[in-house]
Structure 1
């Protein structure tokens, strides 16, 4: 891009994920104006780019801050509607889970033990008869 290193601001925060298993120390950062869209419908914002000292598969990777700056009103509305649908679905699932837990269908008596089980007292010092059923073929360890 023809920008000298003297134009970069220091950047002390390393980042990960560019070189597999390695931490990358940037050369610096710079603010540049970026324009997205067409001649008839565009938007211009200043984005901060982190500059590295090696060639990569991409000239730039635009992350969450970029998407947040360029998200238009239609996308915001669609995103908000999707969140409402997610919240509605989550509420319905929560209701269904509560109903299932309250119903008698989840009573432990409905489960049949597997064959080859034995009773193991919960507390051998207490003769209250409370026990667990475990597989009789389990290793003693």
Structure 2
């Protein structure tokens, strides 16, 4: 079993994301990735991502024969698979929090969830979190300066619908309309005087 050592817990994300290179490193065959028609909401308009269902374990399952070693929890999650490079192995969002009934504390870098007999606490040292943050910022700076960002922008522009070409767009009609209600008259039109 491979370990995901760099996971971002993002309580604001509506998706669980895993990178294709992470699946490759874990030895998961691409035939287990299912195509989907749902869009990559809020990230790349019009882009559709494949999905992978896999088990995720929090806690220490390796010492299951020891007393009190049931401090782990395993659940099956659906991950959106992205083909670009990231600094983390996966990004776990609200669906993960809900499935594990987890509560996070960003200040103490702790995640707590109910286990069979115990509360499971998963944490990270501050130094490791800082290193991940620095690596993420450096990666973002490299991408911003690269041609990859320009290609992604062009792809998004090509796939984004033109709002001016909409057949349901509002077009003002010349003239004046009179509306009356309960004895009051309102004039509506494009040719009205400033009075």
TM class by smaller structure: 0.3 to 0.5
TM-score of the two chains, using structure 2 as the length reference: 0.32
Structure with more strand by fraction? 2
- Higher relative helix content: 1
State TM-score, norm by structure 1. 0.42
